[in-house]
Each structure stands twice: as structure tokens, then as C-alpha cells.
Amino acid sequence: MLNSELGIQDILDNPKSIFHLLNQEEKEELEQHISLAHYKKNEFVFKEGDKPTGFMMLVFGKVKIFKEGVGGREQIIRMAKPLGIIGYRALFAEENHIASAVTLEESMICTVSPDFVLNKALKNSSFSYYLIQKLSRELGFSNSRTVTLTQKHIRGRLAESLLLLKDKYGFEHDGTTLKVYLSREDIANLSNMTTSNAIRTLSTFANEQVIAIDGRKIKILNSHRLERVSKLG
């Protein structure tokens, strides 16, 4: 039985969870095929080259998915938020993971056995259609990011990354502070630039009063200006 902040009913019935698309009989069977694991900050969920262990969903916390490039430099491919699914491409492709997943804060991962997903869940047309939509959207996102990270200048890339974080995680209660606290290295790896360039560009944005910086906390003071910088590239 699940012992977490969300609880089993939230995972099964929350409209933001893919599992709410299962029928009642499938949900009852699913409970017998779930395992849960707590992860500390900066802990690997899976590594590039690992064989998938099951269908994974982030219950709470934040996770970055990244690929290691030349010289060991990371490129963050995408970020996951609570009730987001991760690592499923490799499972359905019957391949090993081509990227790694690491927690950005204390997190919990729900893993469902491959047998249940492949033999039961995929027979549910709503569940299957959601996965097709999810894979299609991620393909579109990856195509757009490829253009962004190869054609935009440093300012445009960093501006887009900050807007991406805003759209993914939102703001704290003050309505301006991003609800995710990344290291300068992670911001650089998300934006395909060196850490020193990320630091300089963040400082420039701060001097222009587009953002405000307090350690790892970043406040977006002028979203319209940030969107313009991102659009102009």
C-alpha cells in the first residue's frame, strides 16, 4: 500500500495522472503492481544504458532527464514534475535508456510492472491514446528545442530556458519566484552553454531588471521582455 503525501487515490484518480484513465477493475489490479521508492536530492533514478525496470511516474519532487555529451558535459533534455511519467520511451521501444534521470530535490517514484502496462493498461484505448499524444508532444518539443539550442544566441537560449521553467513549475506564492532552484551549471546545461556564459547572461538580465537573483532563487520581473528576447533569439 502506498505511503506518500499524495496517497493511492490521488495517483489513481487525479485528472493529471495517467492512471485515472484506467477503469475501476484495472485500478484495483494496478495496486498489486505498484512499487514506490524514495530518492534523495541528486540521486539517480536510472542511468544511460540501464534496462528499464518498469513504467515510472513521479509522485512528488522534481527530476531532470539529461544525456552526457563530449567530455562528460551534460545536456538536459527535459524536466519532470509531479504526476509526470518518465523513462517510458525505452520501455516501449524495448531498448536501454538513452539518457539518465536525476532528482533535483527529495522525490518519490512510482514504478508499475512492465507486465501490467503491456498486457493490461495498453488494452485501454484512452490510456494508449494518452501515451501516443505524450510521445508526439515530446517529439515536437524535442524538434523545437533542437532548433533553439543550435540557432538562437546565448540570450535567446537562456530566456527560453527560464520561460520553460516557468511553464513547467510555475511560481512561488509571490507570483514571481520560479518554483524550482537550479544550480548555474544546470541552467547552463538546459540552455546549451557554458556555466560561465550562463552566469554572465543571468547577471545581464538582472542588470536590465528582467529578472532578480537571490542565490538559486530567480524572480521573473518582466515576462514580456523575456518572451521578446527569446523570440528574437
Residues 125-171 pLDDT 10s: 999 999 999 899 989 988 888 888 888 999 999 999 999 999 999 99
Fold of the CATH domain 8-140? Jelly Rolls (2.60.120)
Sequence ranges of the domains in the chain = 8-140, 152-232
> What is the tens place of the pLDDT at every residue in 39-70?
999 999 999 999 999 999 999 999 999 998 87
Domain 152-232 classification at class level? mainly alpha
159: helix, strand or coil: helix
Enter the pTM of the model.
0.87
Q: Whose CA is closest to 32, among 128, 121, 116?
A: 116
